[in-house]
Amino acid sequence: MVRIAVLVAFAVMGVVVGVGGAFMQAQRVITAVGEYVIVIPWGTLLMLVILVCVTRLASIATQTRWGAWLFFSGWLAATILLAAESPSGDLAISSGGRQLAYLFGGVILGVAIATLPVDFRLGKRGQRIEQARNPSR
């Protein structure tokens, strides 16, 4: 029962991070250095780091990939809904370079992190394979 509550909490947290990320990803710092203009998209970078960290945390906290997939699914649902045009014609996520980096980068990183094994250490199967390769141990 507790595990189900934690899984639902991670799904809801994914929606919250998706809604917050839709607005935070547009933040940037514009700096002029001589005749050059440097744009640092700190909002996009911050939200991608949060997405990766919480997706991994969800799989570690639940000891299953379900936590990571539910969090990522919540994020993806909220992000897609906010990237679509609303009935009033507003967009939370428009079609600029930062926004595309947030959308595609988030999908690629989220799927990659959600498919990682929960535990990187050798399990029983890994130990048996290692013993078969080195029978002297």
Going by the DSSP 8-state scheme, the letter that residue 116 receives in this structure is: S
Q: For residue 3, what are its two tokens?
A: 């595990």
Element (H, E) at 32: strand 29-33
User: In sequence order, what are the residues at sequence separation of 6 or more whose Cβ sits closer than 8 angstroms to the Cβ of residue 6?
Assistant: 61, 62, 67
Token code pair at residue 14: 């994914």
Tokens representing residue 21 in the block: 């990320």
pLDDT value for 112: 95
Domain ranges across the chain = 2-133
**Token pair of 36 as six digits:** 């050059």
Nearest to 14 by CA among 62, 80, 57, 72: 72
pTM over 0.85: no
- pLDDT computed for residue 71 by the predictor: 96
Q: Walk along the chain (137 residues) and give the pLDDT tens digit of each residue.
A: 888 999 999 999 999 999 999 999 888 999 999 999 999 999 999 999 999 999 999 999 988 899 999 999 999 999 999 888 877 777 777 778 888 899 999 999 999 999 998 876 655 555 555 555 666 65
